[in-house]
Amino acid sequence: KGADGNYLVTLIPGDGIGPEIAESVKKIFAAAKRAQPYLGGVEGIESVERESGKEGVAAHSRDEKAPISWEEVDVTPILKDGKTVIPDRAIESVKKNTVALKGPLATPIGKGHVSLNLTLRRTFSLFANVRPCVSIQGFKTPYDNVNTVLIRENTEGEYSGIEHEIVDGVVQSIKLITYEASERVARYAFHYASENGRNKVTAVHKANIMKMSDGMFLTACRAVAKDYPNIAYDEDLLDRVCLRIAQDPSPYADRVMVMPNLYGDILSDLSAGLIGGLGLTPSGNIGKDASIFEAVHGSAPDIEGKGLANPTALLLSSLMMLRHMGLNEFADKIEKAALTTIAEGKAITRDLGGKAGTKEYTDAILAKLAKL
């Protein structure tokens, strides 16, 4: 916490539409007030005083804003020892605060540029990527009942980056699976399920083909399942899940799905497609040293600076962040204001079929918040 008693959170506005949608989130956080009347004074002490009949201490409500202070940092890469790296200040800020909200970062195309997203993932050992997809009332898609949570192993598997050409025309790419990383992500999946009222964990795999690598992933999941007797555990093949989820996503609303890296990358985009795509899908990268929350979409250079961006995905990511920090009350309130604004459909952005810009949409949420 900072000197003002607020939680300090690193804010990386990012590139393209990033600063526009980050601004919207900041405005909404500044307007979100605590729902319960606050009884003043040091919590707990005053109520004891009142009960003991001590005079002169009146209960009053206080306008308490979401207790977050943003520490804004720039991650524009700098050249250090011939390499492009993230500035130290940004790294230090995330290290210190351990929680960050991040806008999209444009990945330059061409050799010599490291992906900053990958750098952040490696720097902070962000081992689990959590992607919930929930149908949004008022935004019509072929499915009304999507409520999936997918947790993707974020550090190894097919994305280990170990590739080489053995001889001309023959390339080998290594899928690396370790028990340690599999166990770590499985444990987080069970923890997430138990914290979020989901009663089942399904490990998604291709162990019928990749008997050793996915087989070990499953061994780790089974071992962790034993520590969570109240959470059911089962396993399903990736192809079968893709088929079933596209036919009827409703059976997946009770559980958390956990899987190796590549499967999670693909299945999470499939799930995002079920609820209407990129403007609405949040994510959280959970790590050992820090957690970074971000929208799934990129920097949308085609609409940069035009005031048209939909800030919902970043806003929903920030609500995941609040819940991760145990600040559920604020998250619920902001979520209600945003979702009712979308459901009403009067001030929604173009990607959702409306006519509003970022500002009108944000103002509509602020108006809703003022009444909650």
Nearer to ligand NAD, 309 or 331 (CB): 309
C-beta atoms surrounding 234 within 10 Å: 11
Of 145-153, 157-165, 186-194, 290-298, which segment contacts ligand NAD by CB under 6 A? 290-298
Find the binder of ligand NAD among 294, 330, 348, 365 (CB under 6 A).
294
Alpha helices in the chain (DSSP H): 18-31, 45-51, 88-97, 116-123, 179-195, 213-225, 238-247, 261-275, 312-324, 328-344, 358-371
Q: How many residues bind ligand NAD (CB under 6 A)?
A: 20
Q: What are phi and psi of 350, to 5 degrees?
A: -60, -35
Is 20 near ligand NAD (CB under 6 A)? Answer: no
Shortest Cβ 10–ligand NAD spacing (Å): 15
Beta bridge partners of 171: 165
User: How far, in Å, CA of 123 to CA of 282, rounded?
Assistant: 21
Beta bridge partners of 12: 102
User: How far, in Å, CA of 60 to CA of 75, rounded?
Assistant: 43
Residue type, 165: E
Beta bridge partners of 101: 11, 293
Shortest Cβ 192–ligand NAD spacing (Å): 21
Find the binder of ligand NAD among 177, 201, 300, 338 (CB under 6 A).
300
Task: Name the CA radius of gyration of the chain, rounded.
Answer: 22
Find the binder of ligand NAD among 28, 181, 241, 313 (CB under 6 A).
313
CA separation, residue 329 to residues 20, 35, 65, 165, 338 (Å): 26, 7, 11, 53, 15
The angle formed by the CA atoms of residues 218, 209 and 250, to the nearest 5 degrees, is 60
Is 157 near ligand NAD (CB under 6 A)? Answer: no
> What x/- string results for residues 114 through 153 when contact with ligand NAD is judged by CB under 6 A?
---x------------------------------------
Is 184 near ligand NAD (CB under 6 A)? Answer: no
Q: Specify the residue for token string 């944000």.
A: 362
Find the binder of ligand NAD among 152, 187, 205, 297 (CB under 6 A).
297
User: How far, in Å, CA of 372 to CA of 61, rounded?
Assistant: 15
Nearer to ligand NAD, 249 or 357 (CB): 357
Q: Specify the residue for token string 């999946």.
A: 189
The residue number with the shortest CB distance to ligand NAD is: 298
Is 298 near ligand NAD (CB under 6 A)? Answer: yes
Find the binder of ligand NAD among 10, 69, 97, 299 (CB under 6 A).
299
Of 163-171, 234-242, 247-255, 308-316, which segment contacts ligand NAD by CB under 6 A? 308-316
C-beta atoms surrounding 225 within 10 Å: 19
Is 94 near ligand NAD (CB under 6 A)? Answer: no
Is 303 near ligand NAD (CB under 6 A)? Answer: yes
Nearer to ligand NAD, 116 or 193 (CB): 116
Nearer to ligand NAD, 148 or 312 (CB): 312
Find the binder of ligand NAD among 249, 279, 282, 287 (CB under 6 A).
279
Residue 202 · residue 263 · CB < 8 Å? no
Find the binder of ligand NAD among 33, 68, 90, 104 (CB under 6 A).
104
How many CA atoms lie less than 13 Å away from 44 in the CB half-sphere?
0
Nearer to ligand NAD, 260 or 279 (CB): 279
Q: Which residues inside 186-215 make contact with ligand NAD, applying CB under 6 A?
A: none
Q: Which residues bind ligand NAD (CB under 6 A)?
A: 17, 104-107, 117, 278-279, 294, 297-303, 309-310, 313, 351
